[in-house]
Amino acid sequence: GAVVSQHPSRVICKSGTSVKIECRSLDFQATTMFWYRQFPKQSLMLMATSNEGSKATYEQGVEKDKFLINHASLTLSTLTVTSAHPEDSSFYICSARRVGQSLAGSYNEQFFGPGTRLTVL
Amino acid sequence: TQLLEQSPQFLSIQEGENLTVYCNSSSVFSSLQWYRQEPGEGPVLLVTVVTGGEVKKLKRLTFQFGDARKDSSLHITAAQPGDTGLYLCAGAGGFKTIFGAGTRLFVKA
């Protein structure tokens, strides 16, 4: 299978501080990773697409200066929440894209990390 | 805008009952994934279907991809409390992956 790790799993910080979350694909290379935010009892909300060696692509309404994304290698993407505030408290999940092959051609799959619970006091 | 409509949004059933979750779209997908997510954890990939008309079975779970690759269903036979969770479908086409809103399943013992 494909394994994606995420660290830390849980973080509590004071308002105004910055928090870095790491996402690693452990057994495959991922040129593309994704960062999601999930509110209680809701589905996933895509924040940004992280591309190895280039700038991230942010979804509409997501502040790129607040949520800094770096994808420095084929197995690591980081999300830094800068100057965190209580409204940034949420469950953040990353995923890594893997390309599979079938008789019909190639297809994309996403494998998710276990998530990071961020609480900003 | 691509949409992937998932239904029902919420399902509460007794242990032993059967259920079906549907995902429908007007878009054609090159593949479709089904995930299950438990509280406080990331979604776990259950299956990927890629061929129109494809049927895959995973123990008591049966996944079907529509002939036109626009829709999919997940059928659970004899549901158990351990099946409780959030089920998500995701359609992949080109570079984008579209997620359904999710089906929250609760199986009562």
Q: SS3 breakdown of chain A: % helix, strand, coil, rounded to 5?
A: 0, 60, 40
Pick from B40, B43, B92: CB nearest A112:
B43
Cβ-based contacts under 8 A for chains A and B = 64
Percentage of chain A beyond pLDDT 90 is: 80
For the cut 90, the answer to whether the pLDDT of residue B96 exceeds it is no
pLDDT in tens, B12-60: 999 999 999 999 999 999 999 999 999 999 999 999 999 999 999 999 9
Pick from B35, B86, B97: CB nearest A108:
B97
For residues A104 and B81, what is the distance between their CA atoms, to the nearest angstrom?
37
pLDDT in tens, A36-72: 999 988 889 999 999 888 899 999 999 999 999 999 8
- State the greatest distance between any 2 C-alpha atoms of chain A, in Å, as a whole number: 52
What is the C-alpha radius of gyration for chain B, rounded to an integer number of angstroms? 13
pLDDT in tens, B70-95: 999 999 999 999 999 999 999 998 76
The β-bridge relationship of strands A32-38 and A57-58 is unpaired
DSSP assignment string, A40-82: TT--EEEEEEEETTS--EEPTT--TTTEEEEEEETTEEEEEE-
pLDDT at A53: 86
Hey, is B66 helix, strand or coil? coil
For residues B5 and B97, what is the distance between their CA atoms, to the nearest angstrom?
13
Partner-chain contact A102 B51, CB within 8 Å: yes
Using a CB–CB cutoff of 8 Å, tell me whether B40 touches chain A.
yes
Pick from A102, A111, A117: CB nearest B50:
A102
Q: Which residues of B4-23 are buried (b: 16+ CB within 10 A; e: fewer)?
A: bebeeeebebeeeeebebbb
